A and B are shown apart, each in its own frame.
Chain A
Amino acid sequence: MGVLLVLIVLAVLLLVGSVGMIAVGRRRARRAPYLEPPVTRPPEAPRPVVVAPEAPVAVEPEPVVVAPEPQPEPVVVAPKPRFRDRLGKARSQFAGYVGNVLSRTSIDDATWDDLEEALILADVGIGTTTAILDDLRARVKSEGITTPQELIAALKADLTAALGDADRSLHLDAGVTNVWLFVGVNGVGKTTTIGKLGRRFNEAGTPVVMAAADTFRAAAAEQLELWSKRVGADLVRGNEGGDPGAVVFDAVQRAAAKNVTLVLADTAGRLHTKVNLMEELKKVRRVAEREPGKVTEVLLVIDATTGQNGLVQAKQFGEAVGVSGVVLTKLDGTAKGGIVLAIEKELGVPIKLVGLGETADDLVDFDPHEFVDALFDA
């Protein structure tokens, strides 16, 4: 079965390729076949270097993090700053539509159009929007909703319910070296998120080790190193072009030696369509699972400006390395990040953290009520 498909595909491609070439090739002078090397990153390279802080390793009895129960438990309750204030800066458009709806005396076609447009403009996506509004229509009928005020209240309740009471805690297991992998496409803010999260743990008195396993992007390790110094975390880094798995492995070893229970592992941004790079990510995860390491969170970082492609990203990364939660970054801009609604509704991956600004304190726990409230409030 598999073989036949491969053969057919090859044959079709062959045909397309050659037919196309005959068409094009006749026009152009024949040129020597030029072979681009395949898109792979350089494989193995020198072993990672451990950037050691001055302190002698593992001699002094460090305060051992005592874990009473061997159960996953949520950690570090974030102070809850300004979710609404930050979102507030840019909420005008959505709120404008809601205002339109509320200004009418009854619910008519224009009402539904307004709601649909508001949701679509928030990047919720046409599929999820239609599903939400269909549910709402049914509710209007069955519950006899007649005023726009009731309608908006019902929609808010629906959206909050769609986000549900998923488990949004970040998991730390006792007795192992926890590894939190941060994954995502290029430029969504993985490194920055780790820096901010490191600050949060540092302030809570929990030491972390940062693993600069983005060995591809130029100066990514330097970027994380600056963050690690800023927040006083240990950093393990490799050489540019080195093996990211080795970096994570060394970070786990180092954390274990120092009795640190958590490793925050940065990975290179990669498009989910790049097969080789997704394979590389799978390997990083496998390596991170080696004793005493245990991957307790795989956090997909998504930029709030991301459109419908976010859903595909979540799906592909989920299939490759099992995403356990979403970090929604850059929500302080004009973008609404509505795609996370679709991600949570369709794929059941909970949003766990939200980035609301540039400073280290601007990473907060996600709260469905606040998210929906902030969306609606005029």
Chain B
Amino acid sequence: MFDSLSDRFDAIFTRLRGRGRLSDEDVDEVLREIRVALLEADVNLTVVREFTRRVKEQCVGEDLSQSLSPAQQVIKIVHQELVGILGGETLRITYASHPPTVVLLAGLQGSGKTTAAAKLARWFRQQGRHPLLVGADLQRPAAVEQLRVLGQQASVSVFSEPTDPVAVAAAGIAEARRVGRDVVIVDTAGRLSIDAELMDEVRRISEAVKPDYTFLVIDAMTGQDAVATAEAFHSTLALDAVILSKLDGDARGGAALSVKEVVGKPIAFASIGEKLGDFDVFHPDRMASRILGMGDVLTLIEKAEQAYDADAAADAATKLMEGRLTFDDFLEQMQALKKMGPLQNIIGMLPGVPKELKNVEIEDREIARIEAIIRGMTPAEREDPSLINASRRTRIASGSGVSSSDVSNLLKQFKEMQKMMKGFGGKAMMRKAKGTKKKKGGRVTAPR
């Protein structure tokens, strides 16, 4: 829905093409665009102001190097600044010398504390620890029940009793000592930062359990309010870090940046899906690209790594660029691609994809149809599509449940695609050899 920052810049810089240096007015215009992009990404207004000031300092008078266009140069500066804010010290968990290590989770209602608690427990288990979940959310109906179910899924035991939150939390620590658990994760009820009574309660919980780590759980979709909330919780609880939840949506997640900048606490973990395993240590640089709307190449590559057989893919890519890709190779790659999830999501992660392509609704049914047609061909036909004459076409069509014009359409398009990729592939190969990665006629990818 929002234009990516690089799209916005393109418009400005086409006018400025050919200049080696940016004037003050140019920079101002660019900064306005940066401001809009950041605000649309829900970066807090005060943070945006400070941020644009810093970027301006760097942009003014900067000699623009030959290799990069002014647009690329500015994006690079912005990206570096973002990573600078988001990154810095990443949180490393040091375990208490006298176990258990106590982790306290707090946040607004519905930010995802209970789910985060279970995911965190699973993560600790993977680190070879033995966590215990303590359900101190006695307020929301069935919250403890939810934690129990999730705990079971994560194979982590859950402790709770219907007394009062402070007592439960304290008893949870004692229980962990008794059964020899070395990590305790305390889930608390959601509360508004201006609810004095409940804020006092969470402070008392914190005093009772003396947490080694206090994490604030923040919804990635949060807007300008994130900073106020984080500050309020920080002043009550002295936060150590933030857990960013629901990052698997399409929210830009500017809230994360704001919290880091204002409260000065890093984002330790990010939750990127509904399954318990969809939870990992946070990557600042990827977040920076996301805020700028530059796609998420790294995540894409990781996904691809899981889905593809490296050699087969490399082989297919070579064939594709040389124009000798057969339907068989194509089918194989398509299978792998499908494992990466819905196509639409994958396209979203690509940087520099033209808007027209990004907004196209690609129905997975369409892919199934293509698949059916290819599967209707004999091995010889897949190898050499020119074999396919009218009678073979009719056979393929009836075998795959489409009309024969659909078949000829696919054949035609496949040929066209090969032609396109051949030209484009040659360029890509050269770039690859030089070690830079570019696609689609010189659009900018995430600077590293």
Interface membership of A315, Cβ < 8 A: yes
- Knowing A6-B370, A39-B274, A189-B109 are in contact, say whether A218-B225 is a contact too (CB < 8 A): no
Interface membership of B307, Cβ < 8 A: yes
Q: Are B304 and A20 in contact (CB under 8 A)?
A: yes
Residues on the B chain within 8 Å of A240, using CB: 149
Q: Are A334 and B250 in contact (CB under 8 A)?
A: no
Residues on the A chain within 8 Å of B341, using CB: 38-39
Task: List the count of A-B residue pairs having beta carbons below 8 Å apart.
Answer: 285
Shortest A15–chain B CB gap in Å is 6
Residues on the B chain within 8 Å of A306, using CB: 219, 221-223
- Knowing A10-B333, A20-B300 are in contact, say whether A307-B254 is a contact too (CB < 8 A): yes
Shortest A267–chain B CB gap in Å is 14
Interface membership of A78, Cβ < 8 A: no
Taken together as a complex, chains A and B put the C-alpha atoms of A223 and B146 apart, in Å, by 9
Chain B contact-residue range equals: 35 or more
Shortest B30–chain A CB gap in Å is 16
Interface membership of A167, Cβ < 8 A: no
Q: Are B110 and A14 in contact (CB under 8 A)?
A: no
Q: Are B306 and A5 in contact (CB under 8 A)?
A: no
Taken together as a complex, chains A and B put the C-alpha atoms of A195 and B142 apart, in Å, by 13
Residues on the B chain within 8 Å of A141, using CB: none
Could you tell me the dominant secondary structure of chain A's interface residues?
helix
Q: Are A23 and B437 in contact (CB under 8 A)?
A: yes
Q: Are B229 and A334 in contact (CB under 8 A)?
A: yes
- Knowing A3-B410, A306-B223, A309-B249 are in contact, say whether A18-B343 is a contact too (CB < 8 A): no
Q: Are B410 and A334 in contact (CB under 8 A)?
A: no
Interface membership of B133, Cβ < 8 A: no
Q: Are B437 and A12 in contact (CB under 8 A)?
A: no
Stretch among B60-68, B87-95, B310-318, B380-388 lining the A interface? B310-318
Interface membership of B179, Cβ < 8 A: no
Q: Are A330 and B109 in contact (CB under 8 A)?
A: yes
Q: Are A9 and B343 in contact (CB under 8 A)?
A: yes
B306 in complex: contacting residue of A14, A36, A312, CB < 8 Å: A36
Please, which residue of chain B has its CB at the minimum distance from the CB of A269? Answer: B110
- Knowing A3-B366, A309-B251, A333-B108 are in contact, say whether A123-B310 is a contact too (CB < 8 A): no
Residues on the A chain within 8 Å of B229, using CB: 305, 333-334
Residues on the A chain within 8 Å of B219, using CB: 187, 303, 305-306
Taken together as a complex, chains A and B put the C-alpha atoms of A115 and B413 apart, in Å, by 54
Q: B-facing mask of A327-339, CB < 8 A → 1, else 0?
A: 0001011111011
Residues on the B chain within 8 Å of A3, using CB: 366, 370, 409-410, 413
Interface membership of A7, Cβ < 8 A: yes
Please, which residue of chain A has its CB at the minimum distance from the CB of B364? Answer: A275
Q: Are A185 and B246 in contact (CB under 8 A)?
A: yes
Q: Are A187 and B223 in contact (CB under 8 A)?
A: no
Interface membership of B13, Cβ < 8 A: no
Residues on the B chain within 8 Å of A308, using CB: 2, 39-42, 223, 251-252
A89 in complex: contacting residue of B194, B337, B345, B350, CB < 8 Å: B194
Interface membership of A210, Cβ < 8 A: no
Residues on the B chain within 8 Å of A216, using CB: 274
Interface membership of B207, Cβ < 8 A: no
Taken together as a complex, chains A and B put the C-alpha atoms of A33 and B304 apart, in Å, by 10
Residues on the A chain within 8 Å of B192, using CB: 330, 332-334
Residues on the B chain within 8 Å of A121, using CB: 45, 224
Q: Are A33 and B112 in contact (CB under 8 A)?
A: no
Q: Are A6 and B223 in contact (CB under 8 A)?
A: no
Q: Are B224 and A122 in contact (CB under 8 A)?
A: yes
Residues on the A chain within 8 Å of B110, using CB: 186-189, 303, 330
B304 in complex: contacting residue of A17, A36, A222, CB < 8 Å: A17
Residues on the A chain within 8 Å of B250, using CB: 271-273, 309, 312
Residues on the A chain within 8 Å of B223, using CB: 123, 305-308, 310, 335, 338-339
Q: Are A330 and B45 in contact (CB under 8 A)?
A: no
Shortest B292–chain A CB gap in Å is 15
Taken together as a complex, chains A and B put the C-alpha atoms of A240 and B110 apart, in Å, by 20
- Knowing A5-B362, A121-B45, A227-B141 are in contact, say whether A16-B439 is a contact too (CB < 8 A): yes
CB-CB contacts below 8 Å: A1-29 with B:
2-25
Q: Are A35 and B109 in contact (CB under 8 A)?
A: no
Residues on the B chain within 8 Å of A117, using CB: 45
Taken together as a complex, chains A and B put the C-alpha atoms of A273 and B342 apart, in Å, by 10
Q: Are A309 and B314 in contact (CB under 8 A)?
A: no
Q: Are A25 and B310 in contact (CB under 8 A)?
A: yes
Taken together as a complex, chains A and B put the C-alpha atoms of A119 and B315 apart, in Å, by 54
Residues on the A chain within 8 Å of B274, using CB: 39, 186, 216
Q: Which among B147, B224, B251 has the greatest number of chain A C-beta atoms within 10 A? A: B224
Q: Are A271 and B346 in contact (CB under 8 A)?
A: no
Interface membership of A90, Cβ < 8 A: yes
Q: A-facing mask of B308-347, CB < 8 A → 1, else 0?
A: 1111011011001100000000100110111101111111
Shortest B208–chain A CB gap in Å is 23
Shortest B207–chain A CB gap in Å is 24
Interface membership of B357, Cβ < 8 A: yes
Interface membership of A276, Cβ < 8 A: yes
Shortest A240–chain B CB gap in Å is 7
CB-CB contacts below 8 Å: A209-227 with B:
216-220, 222-223, 225-227
Instruction: List 9 additional contacts besides A20-B297, A126-B36, A222-B142; criterion CB under 8 Å.
Output: A9-B360, A16-B304, A20-B305, A189-B109, A218-B145, A219-B142, A223-B145, A307-B221, A308-B252
- A-B pairs, 9 with minimum CB distance: A307-B223, A187-B110, A218-B149, A307-B42, A18-B317, A219-B146, A222-B142, A20-B301, A226-B141
Interchain residue pairs with CB less than 8 A apart (13): A6-B370, A12-B440, A16-B301, A17-B336, A18-B316, A20-B304, A123-B225, A186-B110, A218-B146, A219-B148, A275-B344, A307-B254, A307-B255
